[in-house]
Structure 1
Amino acid sequence: MRWQDLAPHHRLPPVAAGMRIGLYGGSFNPAHEGHRKVSLLALQRLRLDQIWWLVSPGNPLKDHSNLPDTAARVAQAKAMVSNPRIVVTAFEEAIGTNYTVETIAFLKQRFPLVHFVWLMGADNLAGFHHWRGWQDIARMVSIAVIDRPGWTLSATASKSAHVLARYRKPENQASCLADSTLPAWVFIHGPRTALSSTQMRQQKK
């Protein structure tokens, strides 16, 4: 595969050795202010160089039969971003990955000198143990969990949180997470948003 021959939204963003990059995956259907606020918080608290919004072909755990194509979702997400350190890409579709564990394995192999951090909301931590290869994900990248209204207790009481409890870092060490020995994760509190793509789609109906 020649990356330069792909559509721009399918290409991998440029990187340099030693960069600290947050990976924020999702359908982004649509991208909204909540995504942007989480990203800005993560950039600051985790001391990241960039955050990549990984616009997925479709969540394997959800029905995506009515999902708009990736090019449309990428364009909408780019219009929302307005920050040069937040990069929108749909390269997962180009390499044919459907699961986060596959995406991370690909990136780790291709960019072994880049420090990746997986970003997820507290709602995702609550169901993280249902993800394919979730413990492999924790061994490959550090994880930052961003608090969300109504999910704090269920997330921290979840199966995955219990299994990974001994690897949890104090929140005041969040800025060092990208350089931590793996597994490593942190739960970040801050300004919370209840916005969700699902709610926004329902409001349009």
Structure 2
Amino acid sequence: MNRLSGPAIGLFGGSFNPAHAGHRHVADAGLRELGLDQVWWMVSPQNPLKPSQPAVQSRAQTIEALNLPYAMKISHIESQLETQYTIDLLRQLRRRQPRTRFVYIIGSDNLAQMPLWKDWQALFSQIPIAVIARPGEPLRARLGRVASQMASARIPENQAHTLKNRQAPAWTYLTLPLNPISSSAIRKHRAADPT
């Protein structure tokens, strides 16, 4: 178990182009199932794996429209620290807040594509990770390269509440009721019907 004694904060990063109820579902699940004190929505200035994004502030406004509860906040720490990659952001956060119990929250779609991330193995050694099931990805993510390579660090879903107190590497996969909404579907709908 981890010896850190500070607040337990979930880091929920993404492009949020736009943010939607599916994202809120993931953040709510992380806050509730992991027993966290807060969830920070970290708006990526520019995801290296995606084409050019709308301005950070306009994407943050789509998060604001979700009426986040008190325990959630929008964070622009990536822009402030001028980091482009998740691993670099986490290393800086750990130096700045050494007592905070950070947990990284991702949807299963991100677990499936994680081999494309910079130093993804190092990411697992830096922070406990909670993966929340998303439609269309659960099986591929759970049987994929990352899940296979990190199998020995996986904790059972019924112990997810202990993740915040564990030493990395540690991760869990939460198979909660799914929310089918996706940003790509919203963008596709807007392109087809711009009114």
TM-score above 0.5: yes
* TM-score with structure 1 setting the length: 0.88
Matches within 5 A, 1:26-175: 26-64=14-52, 67-175=53-161
* TM-score with structure 2 setting the length: 0.92
Say which SS state the counterpart of residue 53 (structure 1) adopts: strand
**How many residue pairs end up in the alignment?**
187
Q: Tell me the CA shift for residue 127 of structure 1.
A: 1.4
The amino acid of 1:184's aligned partner reads A
The answer on whether the counterparts of 2:104 and 2:128 sit within 8 Å (CA) in structure 1 is yes
Instruction: Write the deviation string for residues 21-69 of structure 1: whole angstroms up to 9, x where unpaired.
Output: 01111111111111111111111100000000000111101111xx221
RMSD across aligned positions (CA): 1.1
Q: Tell me the CA shift for residue 82 of structure 1.
A: 2.9
Please say which of residues 79-88 and 111-120 is displaced more in the overlay.
79-88
Say which SS state the counterpart of residue 104 (structure 2) adopts: strand
The answer on whether the counterparts of 1:144 and 1:186 sit within 8 Å (CA) in structure 2 is yes
Tell me, yes or no, if structure 1 residue 176 matches structure 2 residue 162. Answer: yes
Instruction: Write the deviation string for residues 97-129 of structure 1: whole angstroms up to 9, x where unpaired.
Output: 111001111111100000011111111111111
Instruction: Write the deviation string for residues 68-93 of structure 1: whole angstroms up to 9, x where unpaired.
Output: 21122212212213311111122211
The answer on whether the counterparts of 1:142 and 1:178 sit within 8 Å (CA) in structure 2 is yes
Say which SS state the counterpart of residue 147 (structure 2) adopts: helix
List gaps (5 residues or longer) in structure 1.
Answer: 1-16
Please say which of residues 154-163 and 67-76 is displaced more in the overlay.
67-76
Percent identity between the two aligned chains:
40
The amino acid of 2:189's aligned partner reads Q
Instruction: Point out 4+ residue stretches in structure 1 off by more than 2 angstroms.
Output: none
List gaps (5 residues or longer) in structure 2.
Answer: none
Q: What is the rounded CA distance, in whole Å, between the counterparts of 1:37 and 1:26 in structure 2?
A: 14
Q: What is the rounded CA distance, in whole Å, between the counterparts of 1:93 and 1:82 in structure 2?
A: 21
User: 2:13 is matched with which residue: 25, 34, 37?
Assistant: 25
Instruction: Write the deviation string for residues 116-169 of structure 1: whole angstroms up to 9, x where unpaired.
Output: 111111111111111101111100100000011221111011111111000000
